[in-house]
Amino acid sequence: MDVVLLHSPLVGPATWQPVASRLSAAGHDVEVADPRTVQADGPVLLVPHSNAGLYAPMLAAQLDVVATVYVDAALAGDGSDTALAPPALVDHLRTLMDPDGMLPPWSRWWPEEELVGLFPDPATRTAVEREQPRLPLAYFTRRLPVPAGWSDRPSAYLAFGDSYASETARARELGWPVEVMAGRHLHQLHEPAEVADAILRLAAAASD
């Protein structure tokens, strides 16, 4: 199965690279992509993480997607479009932007104590932070189109702890296969083999 791992536009491919290596070793063709630029020929398993989840419905309508496994990811709303950030987050980001409307990199949005344990080691943190772009606040006030019936497509949800508890609950309400692993938002960097196995297991369940 070809697998497209979508990283959030707030970070980069390093957040998925350990999982990509495990899936490649298992015989899958794997691409790690920004959800704003992804292209694929033929059937693929789509695996969005974090904010990339909001792009998945549109991509599933454009590409030959056999299933989508959302990994600790945001979910689109029920309307014809969805916000790229909730109002409370936008309000917080307004306090961080510079005079040109640009934001600091994602890991600098939070107090340092909130990042303790998020990365498995300093080298991994350095690799992730090296790829983090600076985005304008305007990016987060945009809305993305949402195709009708997107949640009826084969889908599953893998949560890390309770950071996305409301999305996990919604996935269950939609009847999707759901698994919850103890961990934080970048748990795929801590346990890539475990996460890779869960992705394949959930993809199979979603496609049944």
For the segment 72-101, what is each residue's pLDDT rounded down to a tens digit?
A: 999 998 899 999 999 999 999 999 999 999
Question: What are the residues facing 70 on neighbouring strands?
Answer: 157
What is the total count of domains within the chain? 2
Domain membership of residue 188 as a residue range: 2-83+145-207
d(CA 104, CA 68): 30
Q: Are residues 198 and 152 in the same domain?
A: yes
Using pLDDT thresholds of 50, 70 and 90, give the confidence band for residue 39: confident
Q: Are residues 78 and 151 in the same domain?
A: yes
Q: Are residues 68 and 53 in the same domain?
A: yes
Nearest to 89 by CA among 106, 76, 114, 77: 106
The pair phi, psi for residue 97, each rounded to 5°, is -75, 150
Q: Are residues 79 and 8 in the same domain?
A: yes
| Residue-wise DSSP of 132-194 | PPP-BHHHHT-EEE--TTGGGSSEEEEEETTTTHHHHHHHHHTT--EEEESS-TTHHHH-HHH
Using pLDDT thresholds of 50, 70 and 90, give the confidence band for residue 40: confident
